[in-house]
Amino acid sequence: MSSFGKKLRECWDAKGLSQSELAKLLNTNHSIIGKYERDEVKPTIDVVKRLAEELETTVGFLLGETKQVNVLKDPAMLKRINDIDALPETDKQHILYALDGLLRDAKTSAAYK
């Protein structure tokens, strides 16, 4: 599992930014960004939210909760998740059970290709 610092570095590299440029966007010093990258200092949740916004990713990705940089930034995916979340618990469980089965079948098919 990648650390916060590695994920942070991956994101700013992908955007073509330097530590200094990212620091300017956050109104901070590049040495702080370096400390985040080396996992010497943990940023506050507010800073993580600002980093995710500036780097066009999610807090979940930076914290290692998801492997995809933008999975929850896809409006169609986010709408589906919100629609499921708004349902009564029983309906939610049925949909997630069916979805788990479909995902399992898709993974199995992909493994045998």
Q: Which two tokens stand for residue 16?
A: 């073509």
What integer pLDDT is reported at residue 1 of this predicted model?
A: 55
pLDDT (tens digit per residue) in 58-70? 888 888 877 666 6
pLDDT (tens digit per residue) in 12-56? 888 899 999 999 999 999 999 999 999 999 999 999 999 999 998
Q: For the domain 4-70, what is the CATH code?
A: 1.10.260.40
What integer pLDDT is reported at residue 56 of this predicted model?
A: 86
What is the three-class DSSP state of 10? helix
Domain parsing of the chain, residue ranges: 4-70, 74-111
Contact assessment for residue 39 and residue 9, using Cβ atoms and an 8 Å cutoff: no
Eight-state DSSP code of residue 39: T
